Structure 1
């Protein structure tokens, strides 16, 4: 995996372009910012989250690579770290963890229900399979529904409620940018490569065993959800900025 949360070497950054400039033209009245306008846009998208996607936001991606050092510096001022995967062309922020300081927490967790966690696991497995075949990771709504339906309790009588729960799980994945709708009349989605960074293969294997056992036992656990501390909700990449809805983020280009 070719990703890093470490500062890039100086020879990989154009210092003349990435360094703050006191001569930069003001973007608005009273503007005291020192970053170029496009660099500010990249910083805002990182803060909005959940990620900068180089395949879908090519202009921002190039700015992020060019100005990675200064963006990392500005994020460190907010106790945030920058994770960049050049191979997958994706970048996101995560909360800095330091034992020697009591750092304020800027990002909030995107809590997932049991079905939402089951969907994330399914998508991660499909992504692994697609990579092994050298194919794009594409999934249809029908496939998602068929997979989630195995978690319906055997004696469930409120089928309409379960249908809503499945629909909500799909919407949550879309809002977190884990799924990107493909153009066309049918409901097909491409799975975001960000999931590779959030879920290592060994963690996926362990979680898959748990969900398989639950499905074989006849549906969801009695409480209907899993502890967020032990499932996908605990991962940095599913964290969102305060004051921003879990999925209605403005995507900048």
Structure 2
């Protein structure tokens, strides 16, 4: 056997043994922390975490993360689907949010817990949605409310036998604070808020009509 034949046999036996040429270390994905086996870039991970932490991701408030989401939407959707969570991206309104997947055919573990708005928050939301709809109907591109106007209107929906005005105002201001945190309103100056298109996502026209009718009937009965 020649030296060349021996070399060929040695190479062949190495290949059969499953020899794989080592990959240069610079081609390995960089770890973000010790033991990191994740494959997403750090900015994509931040977007994924934000979607899980918050109710909404707004293009207006977070333009960089919104851009990252759009550029990596398919992989972000895939990661959320692994958790039985659906991603909704509303390009027209510039908002992304998550929904719990529910199925009658599949036993789905529930990750997202419902965190409904309380009475005051719902009443404020109804008024905000009504103002937004009215202003858009007249051709206005934006809608705004003052805290005093908001309080006066929403207080009329409260129990007429409850004469604790200070408590009612406190509830309303707390409601405004939460809705502002969720991105439904944005404070432009002290006590003056711009209503964002997010109110249309949270409260559909059908639901607004239903709630408005119920509140009207309730007020009539109280009178």
Q: Shorter-chain TM-score: which interval?
A: 0.7 to 0.9
Q: Please give the TM-score of this superposition, normalised by the length of structure 1.
A: 0.71
Q: Please give the TM-score of this superposition, normalised by the length of structure 2.
A: 0.80
Q: Which moved more, 1:137-146 or 1:33-42?
A: 137-146
Q: Pairwise CA RMSD of aligned residues? A: 1.9
What is the alpha-carbon distance in structure 1 between the residues aligned to residue 63 and residue 210 of structure 2?
35
Q: How does 1:55-134 map to 2 (within 5 A)?
A: 55-132=60-137, 133-134=139-140
Q: Say if 1:28 and 1:173 are closer, same or farther in 2 by CA, change over 3 A.
A: same
Q: Say if 1:170 and 1:57 are closer, same or farther in 2 by CA, change over 3 A.
A: same
How far does residue 55 in structure 1 lie from its aligned partner after superposition?
1.0
What is the alpha-carbon distance in structure 1 between the residues aligned to residue 171 and residue 219 of structure 2?
16
Q: Does 1:189 align with 2:187?
A: no
Residues 50, 177 of structure 1: 8 Å contact kept: no
Corresponding residue number in structure 2 for 1:4: none
Q: Which runs of 5+ in 1 are unaligned?
A: 1-21, 220-253
What is the alpha-carbon distance in structure 1 between the residues aligned to residue 214 and residue 180 of structure 2?
24
Q: How does 1:108-187 map to 2 (within 5 A)?
A: 108-132=113-137, 133-182=139-188, 184=189, 186-187=190-191
Q: Say if 1:26 and 1:142 are closer, same or farther in 2 by CA, change over 3 A.
A: same
Equivalent of 2:46, from 41, 51, 56?
Answer: 41
Q: Secondary structure at the match of 1:93?
A: strand
Residues 116, 170 of structure 1: 8 Å contact kept: yes
Give the number of the structure whose residues are more often helix, by fraction.
2
What is the alpha-carbon distance in structure 2 between the residues aligned to residue 207 and residue 152 of structure 1?
14
Residues 118, 211 of structure 1: 8 Å contact kept: no
What is the alpha-carbon distance in structure 2 between the residues aligned to residue 113 and residue 102 of structure 1?
30
How far does residue 29 in structure 1 lie from its aligned partner after superposition?
2.3
What is the alpha-carbon distance in structure 1 between the residues aligned to residue 197 and residue 57 of structure 2?
11
Corresponding residue number in structure 2 for 1:54: 59
Residues 77, 86 of structure 2: 8 Å contact kept: yes
Aligned positions, number: 196
Residues 56, 182 of structure 2: 8 Å contact kept: no
How far does residue 157 in structure 1 lie from its aligned partner after superposition?
3.2
Q: Does 1:218 align with 2:222?
A: yes
What is the alpha-carbon distance in structure 2 between the residues aligned to residue 173 and residue 195 of structure 1?
10
What is the alpha-carbon distance in structure 1 between the residues aligned to residue 29 and residue 212 of structure 2?
52
